[in-house]
């Protein structure tokens, strides 16, 4: 029997902010890129809470050259007077104590996203350097911290007639895996906040690159929906706007249908992006389905449409873009990162209010109502066609995990934590990949020809497409609303295409398919793009593979000009099996890029711009970004 050494000496009492530094993921959701940017969001959310309380209309975020972030607002400023219980200035208490803040009563902030009271103190704890300046009562107060510990008193450094809070922090590289802020990553969240809080000006500046954005939208979430639908063809001109208020609970919904087939609903509670939905989303969905089906019956469409199936919730939401924003005094979230709203009182209120308002809107706008209903009916027919396609393909064993496509060279191992599959452009490169791979854990599926642009196709066409069927079949996890990531046969799905325009197009088509019909693959980090070398620099027995022209030139300088051979790879098919293993397949040497969704709003918008029907947005994108192209056809 093992020796029992569990005594009171084994019990640790973590003081101050030690618990945060010990278990940072509990507070910011991870120590990677998401967690890093969550630090900025925590500080910005405090400024937005000031705005919701009516005391702030401007928030400025600056990324500095030394790797710090500065957030400044023109709110009331964190209290600087002495806190009676701790005998410390209020700002010091807020920055050094978990669960300390002005958000636990319903007086200071009637609505707030940061009810845990841990946000800004967590940022302080996870920063190697932290400085706060508070403009208040005619003075500017300053205090400096390191790893959450004060290294100065709260001092008056200047006089001012303004109010507000200025915070500068530098993330601690000993705690976080990455400390380099992404300008575009932050821009997505700040843009959302500006949409959700009409009239508030939010700026983002990057001293590292001179980039800067200013976000301010008087149209609120209607402007948000129009922005999301910018590259789509709306079914009607103006978004449908519904709002409701009861006691301290209020919500807004803006929705507009487009001619596409994708559902895009973004949910927020007290400005927090509840990406996993919750009671506000379920209330909206139920009301929308009920209202559309009610109008189909009352308008006579049910009798006019022969052999009509009753549209399901998925049918009714085909092609919808919607933003739901709820504000309430005591939101209940799942976890500190607040991905799902749990308040039960929200569901019924949103459901009844949206349903009643939609029925009135449909009666007052019959043309728009009919367009929405006809689209839902068409979607229900496509759903039935998709069901038949699924049944047919199952009979052909396309969706059954027990049967695999003929061109697939599968691996020996079945553990989906260690296996990977290469989707390879062309039979020639596919043949070399099959020979060069490690058969134990690497599978290869050659692709041929251009696959379907799934941005412009319903699921019934997708299921019947002979270029897509082998991919669905090989991955084994289903598609669309039947997709089950737990059935995925491989941990890594690696797209391997030529480094030219055609290869880039194939990559984009595959990514569009994964994003639209197997999004959990991307959200959970299973999709990669292989980066094969462009050049081989060879002199004697020395071989150097390079990925850019600059690397090639550096290699030439290294080996010298005499007797050197430079090979330019125009396609993967030019490499033999051994070269392909050495450069693109070998996990120890290869370069692969993980595909991530940093900003779901911008990802959806970009796929629509690049792959949708509208030409003008695509033309505008090309014109704005053409100057960044280094190799048009490499």
Q: Residue 138, by phi and psi: left (phi above 0), alpha (psi -120 to 50) or beta?
A: left
Cα distances (angstroms) measured from residue 596 to each of 54, 268, 399, 476, 525: 36, 22, 26, 22, 6
Predicted TM-score (pTM) of the model is 0.72
Cα distances (angstroms) measured from residue 143 to each of 43, 85, 131, 156: 16, 20, 6, 9
Is 502 assigned a catalytic role?
yes
Neighbours of 505 (CB within 10 A): 16
Domain boundary among the residues 352, 370, 390 is at: 390
Residues shown for the chain: 634
- Residue 337's nearest CA partner among 596, 24, 18, 1 is 24
Domain assignment present for residue 455? The answer is yes
- Residue 512's nearest CA partner among 561, 463, 457, 566 is 457
Q: What's the burial of 81, exposed, middle or buried (CB within 10 Å: 0-12/13-18/19+)?
A: exposed
Query: Domain holding 477: CATH number?
Result: 3.40.50.670
Which pLDDT band holds residue 7 (cuts at 50, 70, 90)? very low
**pLDDT value for 420:** 95
Domain assignment present for residue 166? The answer is yes
Whether 215 shows a pLDDT value over 90: the answer reads: yes
Q: Report which listed range, 113-127, 320-334, 616-630, is most confident.
A: 320-334
For 276, list phi and psi in degrees, rounded to 5.
Answer: -95, 10
- Of 2-11, 230-239, 353-362, 367-376, least confident by mean pLDDT is 2-11
Percent of the chain with pLDDT over 90: 45
**pLDDT value for 142:** 96
Per the DSSP assignment, residues forming a β-bridge with 149 are: 146
CA distance 343 to 170: 35
Which helix (H) or strand (E) segment is 620 a member of? Answer: helix 615-625
- Do 251 and 162 share a structural domain? no
Which pLDDT band holds residue 557 (cuts at 50, 70, 90)? confident
Catalytic residue selected from 347, 425, 460, 582? 425
- Do 426 and 413 share a structural domain? yes
**pLDDT value for 615:** 64
- Do 68 and 190 share a structural domain? yes
- Do 272 and 295 share a structural domain? yes
Q: Tell me if 545 sits within 8 A of 535, measured CB to CB.
A: yes
Domain boundary among the residues 196, 215, 234 is at: 215
Residues 6 or more apart whose CB falls under 8 angstroms from that of 378 comprise: none
For 468, list phi and psi in degrees, rounded to 5.
Answer: -95, -30
* SS3 state at 99: coil
For 209, list phi and psi in degrees, rounded to 5.
Answer: -140, 0
Note every long-range contact of 247-251, with CB atoms under 8 Å and residues 24 or more positions apart, other chains counting. 248/106, 248/110, 248/111, 248/328, 248/329, 249/326, 249/327, 249/328, 249/329, 249/345, 249/346, 249/349, 250/326, 250/327, 250/328, 251/280, 251/324, 251/325, 251/326, 251/327, 251/346, 251/349, 251/350, 251/353
pLDDT tens digits along 377-393? 988 888 888 777 666 65
**pLDDT value for 58:** 95
- Do 202 and 262 share a structural domain? no
Query: Domain holding 257: CATH number?
Result: 3.30.230.10
pLDDT tens digits along 312-327? 999 999 999 999 999 9
- Residue 451's nearest CA partner among 472, 430, 477, 482 is 472
Structure tokens at 476: 């084994």
Domain assignment present for residue 624? The answer is yes
Neighbours of 205 (CB within 10 A): 18
Domain count, the chain: 3
Cα distances (angstroms) measured from residue 90 to each of 112, 127, 439, 600: 19, 20, 63, 38
Percent of the chain with pLDDT over 70: 86
Is 425 assigned a catalytic role?
yes
- Of 20-34, 401-415, 584-598, 606-620, least confident by mean pLDDT is 606-620
Structure tokens at 532: 């094969």
Which pLDDT band holds residue 421 (cuts at 50, 70, 90)? very high
Which pLDDT band holds residue 116 (cuts at 50, 70, 90)? very low
For 418, list phi and psi in degrees, rounded to 5.
Answer: -115, -15
Is 586 assigned a catalytic role?
no
**pLDDT value for 111:** 54
Domain assignment present for residue 557? The answer is no
Q: Give the β-pairing of 264-269 and 542-546.
A: unpaired
Catalytic residue selected from 347, 498, 582, 604? 498
Higher pLDDT, 84 or 389: 84
Neighbours of 618 (CB within 10 A): 16
Radius of gyration of the chain (CA): 28
- Do 377 and 448 share a structural domain? no
Neighbours of 307 (CB within 10 A): 6
Q: Report which listed range, 90-104, 347-361, 562-576, is most confident.
A: 347-361
Where do runs of H (alpha helix) occur along 464-595? 469-475, 501-517, 519-523, 549-559, 577-580
Q: What's the sign of the alpha-carbon dihedral 371, 293, 231, 220?
A: positive
Which pLDDT band holds residue 14 (cuts at 50, 70, 90)? very low
Whether 130 shows a pLDDT value over 60: the answer reads: yes
Q: What share of the chain is helix, strand, coil (3-state, %, to 5)?
A: 40, 20, 40
Structure tokens at 329: 């005094």
Count how many Cα atoms sit within 13 Å of the Cα of residue 397 in the half-sphere of its side chain.
Answer: 6
Domain assignment present for residue 573? The answer is no
pLDDT tens digits along 218-236? 999 999 999 999 888 899 9
Instruction: Please state the three-class secondary structure of 392-449 as a single string.
Output: HHHHCCCCCCCCCCCCCECCCCCCCCCCEEEEEECHHHHHHHHHHCCCCCEEEEEECC
Whether 337 shows a pLDDT value over 70: the answer reads: no
Structure tokens at 113: 């996203």
Q: Tell me if 270 sits within 8 A of 112, measured CB to CB.
A: yes
Whether 622 shows a pLDDT value over 90: the answer reads: no
Q: Residue 166, by phi and psi: left (phi above 0), alpha (psi -120 to 50) or beta?
A: beta
Catalytic residue selected from 305, 500, 551, 574? 500
Q: Tell me if 447 sits within 8 A of 469, measured CB to CB.
A: no
Catalytic residue selected from 131, 330, 502, 543? 502
Domain assignment present for residue 526? The answer is yes
Query: Domain holding 97: CATH number?
Result: 3.30.565.10
- Residue 455's nearest CA partner among 520, 504, 367, 514 is 514
- Residue 529's nearest CA partner among 508, 545, 552, 547 is 508
Structure tokens at 324: 């739901």
Looking at every residue in the chain, the average pLDDT score rounds to 85
**pLDDT value for 319:** 92
- Do 381 and 433 share a structural domain? no
Domain assignment present for residue 189? The answer is yes
- Do 61 and 187 share a structural domain? yes
- Do 375 and 237 share a structural domain? yes
Is 498 assigned a catalytic role?
yes
Q: Residue 268, by phi and psi: left (phi above 0), alpha (psi -120 to 50) or beta?
A: beta
- Do 140 and 84 share a structural domain? yes
- Do 429 and 383 share a structural domain? no
Whether 112 shows a pLDDT value over 60: the answer reads: no
- Do 376 and 259 share a structural domain? yes
Domain assignment present for residue 578? The answer is no
Residues 6 or more apart whose CB falls under 8 angstroms from that of 83 comprise: 89, 90, 93
**Averaged over 32-52, what is the pLDDT?**
90
Structure tokens at 449: 């020809």
**pLDDT value for 20:** 86
Domain boundary among the residues 334, 362, 390 is at: 390
Q: Which domain holds residue 225?
A: 220-390
Higher pLDDT, 245 or 607: 245
CA distance 578 to 585: 10
Which pLDDT band holds residue 100 (cuts at 50, 70, 90)? low
- Residue 461's nearest CA partner among 351, 386, 384, 549 is 386
pLDDT tens digits along 458-503? 777 888 888 888 999 899 998 887 889 999 999 999 999 887 777 8
């Amino acid at each position: 029997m093992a020796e029992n050494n569990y005594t009171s000496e084994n019990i640790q009492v973590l003081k101050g902010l030690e618990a945060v530094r010990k278990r940072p993921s509990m507070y910011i959701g991870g120590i990677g890129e998401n967690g890093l940017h969550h630090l900025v969001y925590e500080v910005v959310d405090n400024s937005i809470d000031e705005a919701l309380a009516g005391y702030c209309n401007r928030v400025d975020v600056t990324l500095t050259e030394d790797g710090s972030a500065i957030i400044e607002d023109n709110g009331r400023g964190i209290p600087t007077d002495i806190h009676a219980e701790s005998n410390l200035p209020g700002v010091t208490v807020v920055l050094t104590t978990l669960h300390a803040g002005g958000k636990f009563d319903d007086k200071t902030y009637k609505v707030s996203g940061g009810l845990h009271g841990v946000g800004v103190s967590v940022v302080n704890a996870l920063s190697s350097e932290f400085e706060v300046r508070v403009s208040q009562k005619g003075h500017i107060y300053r205090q400096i911290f390191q790893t959450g510990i004060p290294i100065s008193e709260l001092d008056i450094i200047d006089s001012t007639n303004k109010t507000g809070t200025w915070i500068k922090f530098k993330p601690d590289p000993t705690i976080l895996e990455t400390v380099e802020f992404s300008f575009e990553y932050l821009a997505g969240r700040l843009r959302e906040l500006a949409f959700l809080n009409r009239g508030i000006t939010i700026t983002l500046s990057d001293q590292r690159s001179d980039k800067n954005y200013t976000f301010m939208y008087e149209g609120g979430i209607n402007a948000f929906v129009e922005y999301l639908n910018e590259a789509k063809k709306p079914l009607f001109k103006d978004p449908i706007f519904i709002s409701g208020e009861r006691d301290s609970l209020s919500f807004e919904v803006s929705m507009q249908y487009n001619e596409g087939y994708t559902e895009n609903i973004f949910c927020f509670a007290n400005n927090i992006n509840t990406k996993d939905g919750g009671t506000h989303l379920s209330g909206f969905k139920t009301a929308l389905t009920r209202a559309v089906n009610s109008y189909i019956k009352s308008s006579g469409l049910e009798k006019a449409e022969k052999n009509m199936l009753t549209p399901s919730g998925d049918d009714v939401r085909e092609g919808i873009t919607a933003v739901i924003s709820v504000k309430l005094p005591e939101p209940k979230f799942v976890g500190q990162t607040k991905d799902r709203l749990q308040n039960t009182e929200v569901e019924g209120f949103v459901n009844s209010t949206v349903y009643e308002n939609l029925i009135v809107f449909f009666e007052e706008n019959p043309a728009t109502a009919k367009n929405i209903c006809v689209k839902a009916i068409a979607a229900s027919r496509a759903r039935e066609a998709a069901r038949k396609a699924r049944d047919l393909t199952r009979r052909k064993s396309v969706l059954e995990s027990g049967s695999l496509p003929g061109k697939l060279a599968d691996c020996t191992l079945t553990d989906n934590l260690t296996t990977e599959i290469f989707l390879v452009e062309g039979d020639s490169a596919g043949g070399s990949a099959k020979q060069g791979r490690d058969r134990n854990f690497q599978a290869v599926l050659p692709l041929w020809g251009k696959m379907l642009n799934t941005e412009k196709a319903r699921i019934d066409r997708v299921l019947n497409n002979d270029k897509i069927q082998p991919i669905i079949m090989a991955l084994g996890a289903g598609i669309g609303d039947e997709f089950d990531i737990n059935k995925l046969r491989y941990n890594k799905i690696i797209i391997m295409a030529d480094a030219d325009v055609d290869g880039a197009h194939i990559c984009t088509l595959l990514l569009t398919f994964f994003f639209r019909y197997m999004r959990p693959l991307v959200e959970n980090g299973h999709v990669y793009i292989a980066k094969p070398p462009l050049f081989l620099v060879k002199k004697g027995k020395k071989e150097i593979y390079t990925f850019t022209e600059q690397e090639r030139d550096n290699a030439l300088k290294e080996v010298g000009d005499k007797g050197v051979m430079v090979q330019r790879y125009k396609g993967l098919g030019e490499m033999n099996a051994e070269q392909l293993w050495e450069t693109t397949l070998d996990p120890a040497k290869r370069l692969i890029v993980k595909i991530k969704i940093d900003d779901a709003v911008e990802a959806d918008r970009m796929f629509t711009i690049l792959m949708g029907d509208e030409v003008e947005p695509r033309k505008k994108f090309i014109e704005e970004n053409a100057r960044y192209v280094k190799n048009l056809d490499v």
